Structure 1
Amino acid sequence: MGETPRERRARLVGAAEEFGGVLSRHRLAELGADRNVVAREVRAERWRLHGARTVALHTGRLSDLAQWWRAVWEVGQGAVLDGVTALHASGMKGFDEARVHVSVDHLCTPGPIEGVRIHRVRDALEADSVGPGPPRVRPAVATVRAAQWAVTDRQAALLLCLPVQQGLVRAKDLCHVRWPGAHYGRTALVRQLVADLEDGAHSLGELDFARFCRLRGLPTPSRQVVRRGPQGRIYLDVRWDEAGLVVEIDGAQHRQGLAVTSDNLRRNHLLTAGDLVLTIDLVGLRLQPEAFMDQVLTAYRQLTLRRAG
């Protein structure tokens, strides 16, 4: 006795689970569901079409995984997830992007796909692709391209920081990515930010601060300095050894739980040891950078003059 429609449907739904509930028409045909079967299921409102090549074996909203597979199938021509979408597929959190970013070889000319941003790139895609899951470029390549395709410079910096902070990529790996031409946009800025990350700045606030220091003509400070305190190691965001000046850049995590107590103990210890500690909150650095940098520059000049005298 052959397979019943119900049994076939259950088998196909099971096969679609690893793709987020969708299958390509090609895969459906391989599994014994030709175009006539698909048409009947769609008419019965059990399945739904999402383009020329993608079939959802349900009628609900597509998950992220399903959207990624749909984008790759609909674009075709060797398409791979790229940029922020490839980072999401690799596990990055903390950044929302409605569109799916897909890259194809620069000689391909796919038509527009709703909800998909198609990038034509000259770099070899196959050498950069990783799996399992939807085909996508490796995290280091995706990070650099996400930054170059960002809407703003600040968004570019954030998309460089998040993958490093979350352990998806090492800062030094970003330095070895093949850099595309200037037509990609903000290449110079991304190169500078990558250099900052490689130098030890692992938060958006520290990257901003490093840039502001350069603009003010301040010498490059030491970052992520480790000192010995009464309760163990103390980690300092920024310190100028020649001035005895410490700058702490506080994000939201510094206002949670016992973080305030730990911060106060650390700063009090530094003060009693002879350092001057300036504190800049991350929101303040974003909204009033000039005012804060005026204070840093004044403190640096006064301390270096005092030590010289």
Structure 2
Amino acid sequence: MRRRTPPSRHPRRHRTPATLGRPLPRDGADELTWLLFHQDQVISLAQALRHMSRRAIRHRVATDRWRQVHRAVFVTHNGPVGPDQLRWIAVLAAGPSAVLAGLTAAREWGLRRYDSSAVHLLLPAARRADRLPPFVIVHRTTSLPEEDVLPVGLPSRTMPARSIIDAAQWARTDEESRAVIAAGFQQRLVGGDDIHRVLDRMPRARRRRLIMQTASDAAGGAHSLAELDFLTLVRRAGLPEPSRQQIRRDPTGRRRYLDVYFDRWRVHVEIDGGQHLDPRTAWADMQRQNELWIAGDRVLRFPAWAVRHQPGSVIRQLRSALRAAGWPG
């Protein structure tokens, strides 16, 4: 009869991005070693006391083997403290009900271009958290259902749609709020009606109407803040509603995306950001524009700064192009 192997006392749990780059502890490693592996070498006082005495903890700090980074949190090495460890310090300092949220959680999901040393935490409204590290920003909520929190992985964090919504709520300005929503769609963290489904559970969310409108536009294809601004100009001017991010194929069969396309009148608008100044990008843009002209489309191009700072000129040229293409006005 085949003998069953007893289950390991230290199961190799779900590996987070923070642990993927580090070697697993050796077979037979004790519980403390596994705990420190999963928590990126950060531990709370309460956790440490389950494995050693206060005297042993003080000795490790006194001999520089550990470093006390908060009144009840330690880093178990004396090297530099990285972003992953800052997140663990924040969560352990705030207590077991804290979850990474907003931009911090969104970055964990892969959001790019929003780097910050601040760590955003979400706590239940009734939960107190005193004397937290200065880099921690605490937000409170009366609504955090289970479906809004990642069920696996450590430290706990909100799901992508909730993370984007909270980041938009907590942004300093409406423009920053719209930008992070657009980035969430552009970078494929969210899609479709993900944002709307979560907002249905958040009737008191700050900027709720702005978030819903921006998400609707972004889901329709306006994946940059400049494209969203352009769409707002079009609506205010009473021009026809365009398609966004329409797919076309070039002569080689590759898929190309048109920023804004007025299908009925075959007027195509490109909104150029800073990346279009690169010579290789500029040449690719020229080739695509030439192909559209050859196919019979009218092509207009505007830099993103003109959409924001010279909207009158942008709308005048767009209106003229649409009329020339047969739009009755």
TM-score, with structure 2 as normaliser: 0.81
Instruction: Measure the CA separation in 1 of the matches of 2:306 and 2:52.
Output: 59
Amino acid at match of 1:115: F
Instruction: Pick which of 107-116 and 84-93 moved more.
Output: 107-116
Instruction: Measure the CA separation in 1 of the matches of 2:101 and 2:41.
Output: 22
SS at match of 1:235: strand
> Cα distance, 1:74 vs. partner?
1.1
- The corresponding residue for 1:50 is 69
Instruction: Measure the CA separation in 1 of the matches of 2:215 and 2:312.
Output: 24
- The corresponding residue for 1:3 is none
Instruction: Pick which of 142-151 and 69-78 moved more.
Output: 69-78
Instruction: Measure the CA separation in 2 of the matches of 1:106 and 1:14.
Output: 32
Residue of 198, 211, 216 corresponding to 1:190: 211
> Cα distance, 1:221 vs. partner?
0.2
Does residue 101 of structure 2 align to residue 79 of structure 1? no
Bigger helix fraction? 1
Residue of 54, 74, 81 corresponding to 1:35: 54
Does residue 130 of structure 2 align to residue 111 of structure 1? yes
Contact persistence 2:182–2:225 (CA under 8 A): yes
SS at match of 1:226: strand
Instruction: Measure the CA separation in 2 of the matches of 1:234 and 1:88.
Output: 28
> Cα distance, 1:36 vs. partner?
1.8
- The corresponding residue for 2:36 is 16
> Cα distance, 1:243 vs. partner?
2.6
Contact persistence 2:185–2:219 (CA under 8 A): no
SS at match of 2:325: helix
Contact persistence 2:182–2:214 (CA under 8 A): no
> Cα distance, 1:297 vs. partner?
2.9
Identity fraction in percent = 34
Q: Deviations over 1:37-60 (max 9, x none)?
A: 221222223321122321011233
- The corresponding residue for 2:310 is 288
Instruction: Measure the CA separation in 1 of the matches of 2:41 and 2:195.
Output: 34
Instruction: Measure the CA separation in 2 of the matches of 1:88 and 1:235.
Output: 26
> Cα distance, 1:75 vs. partner?
1.2
- The corresponding residue for 1:298 is 320
TM-score, with structure 1 as normaliser: 0.85
Residue of 267, 271, 285 corresponding to 1:263: 285
- The corresponding residue for 1:165 is 186
CA pair 242-127 structure 1, distance change in 2 beyond 3 A: closer
Residue of 223, 227, 235 corresponding to 2:244: 223
Residue of 235, 239, 242 corresponding to 2:261: 239
Residue of 71, 76, 79 corresponding to 1:60: 79
Instruction: Measure the CA separation in 1 of the matches of 2:34 and 2:197.
Output: 41
Contact persistence 1:105–1:122 (CA under 8 A): yes
Q: Deviations over 1:244-294 (max 9, x none)?
A: 211011233434464333321221222233322110122433443343233
Residue of 157, 165, 169 corresponding to 1:136: 157
Instruction: Measure the CA separation in 2 of the matches of 1:112 and 1:171.
Output: 40
SS at match of 2:197: coil
How many residue pairs match? The answer is 296
Instruction: Measure the CA separation in 2 of the matches of 1:231 and 1:129.
Output: 44
Contact persistence 1:94–1:162 (CA under 8 A): no
Contact persistence 2:199–2:208 (CA under 8 A): no
Amino acid at match of 2:177: A
Instruction: Measure the CA separation in 2 of the matches of 1:283 and 1:33.
Output: 60
Amino acid at match of 2:304: L
Instruction: Measure the CA separation in 2 of the matches of 1:40 and 1:54.
Output: 15
Amino acid at match of 1:166: Q
- The corresponding residue for 2:9 is none
Does residue 295 of structure 2 align to residue 273 of structure 1? yes
Does residue 239 of structure 2 align to residue 203 of structure 1? no
Quote the RMSD (CA, aligned, Å). 2.5
Q: Deviations over 1:148-194 (max 9, x none)?
A: 11112222122112232333222421121135344x43222111101
> Cα distance, 1:302 vs. partner?
4.0
> Cα distance, 1:15 vs. partner?
4.5
> Cα distance, 1:234 vs. partner?
4.0
- The corresponding residue for 1:7 is none
Q: Deviations over 1:21-46 (max 9, x none)?
A: 2111222222x223222212222233
Contact persistence 2:68–2:74 (CA under 8 A): yes
